Amino acid sequence: MSCYRLGLLLCDHPLEHLVNDFGDYPTMFMRAFGAVTSAIDWQIYDVTAGAIPSQPTDCDGWLISGSRHGAYDTLPWIASFTAYIQSIAASPQPLVGLCFGHQIIGHALGADVRKAPQGWGLGIHAYDIVESAEFMHPLRTEVVLPVCHQDQVLSLPSGARRLARSTHCENFIVEFAPRVLGIQGHPEFEPDFIAALVEWRRERLPPATYAAARASLTRAHDNLLVRQWIARFLGIPTENS
């Protein structure tokens, strides 16, 4: 099996107590995608520290992590990173963004991204598949994933396709372009890590939001399936290809 150079564009770091229990984000990604493929040569770029690659062809494909920040924030690294996303989108290289990654792709390509009036998406929740794409096999009528977000992509740029939605999150999976995919969920997070995030935010959440998030944590999820979808979209060989 040939090795695929995957650029992980890292947009945040876990809190110290969570790193001690779960590892840092690159460790989580490597562990998660190691369950579906051994063909990845990981290239880590901490974009929060200004480590933006020189050009899109530095890797075979790109994956953008989540972040506690907003795509609309005025941090210097976000402005330069937004421009870099536009250069990837104009290149032949495939790009996938998760949570904040999904949002900043939308922001870079002209979508409306901001805090949603629906409030927090938090826990493990189901989303309806509304349109299929070639990489989405085996196809399901719904997909269940961990989520942790207030912001959403609230409108789509021209040419984008909505693939999955819910009443809470209208644009959950979006194919922004033939080689550009955004997913509002976190298929790289295991339920125990989402549970830790829920507990960390407990005092800042409305009681009903906290209770619903806690109640969702025992739900069966589709992390492994969606990791396979992502690998297939990026063109990474998998054991099940």
Interatomic CA distance for residues 138 and 174, integer angstroms: 18
pLDDT per residue as tens digits for the range 77-112 = 999 999 999 999 999 999 999 999 999 999 999 999
E-state strands within 150-195: 151-153, 161-165, 173-177, 180-183
H/E element, 42: strand 40-46
**Three-state SS letters, 94-139:** CEEEECHHHHHHHHHCCCCEEECCCCCEEEEEEEEECCCCCCCCCC
pLDDT of residue 191: 95
pLDDT of residue 238: 86
Interatomic CA distance for residues 167 and 162, integer angstroms: 14
Report yes or no: 50 and 81 within 8 Å, Cβ to Cβ: no
Phi-psi region of 103 (alpha: psi -120 to 50; beta: other; left: phi over 0): alpha
pLDDT of residue 240: 63
Amino acid identity at 209: T
Cα distance from N-terminal residue to C-terminal residue, the chain = 11
pLDDT of residue 239: 74
Residues of the chain with pLDDT under 70: 1, 240-241
Helix axes 100-108 and 76-89, enclosed angle (nearest 10): 70
pLDDT of residue 241: 53
Helices (runs of H) and strands (runs of E) counted in the chain: 7, 11
Interatomic CA distance for residues 198 and 172, integer angstroms: 20
pLDDT of residue 16: 86
pLDDT per residue as tens digits for the range 133-145 = 999 999 899 999 9
Give all domains of the chain, ordered by start, each with its CATH number.
4-234 (3.40.50.880)
Residue 6 phi/psi, 5-degree rounding, is -105, 120
Report yes or no: 11 and 52 within 8 Å, Cβ to Cβ: no
pTM: 0.96
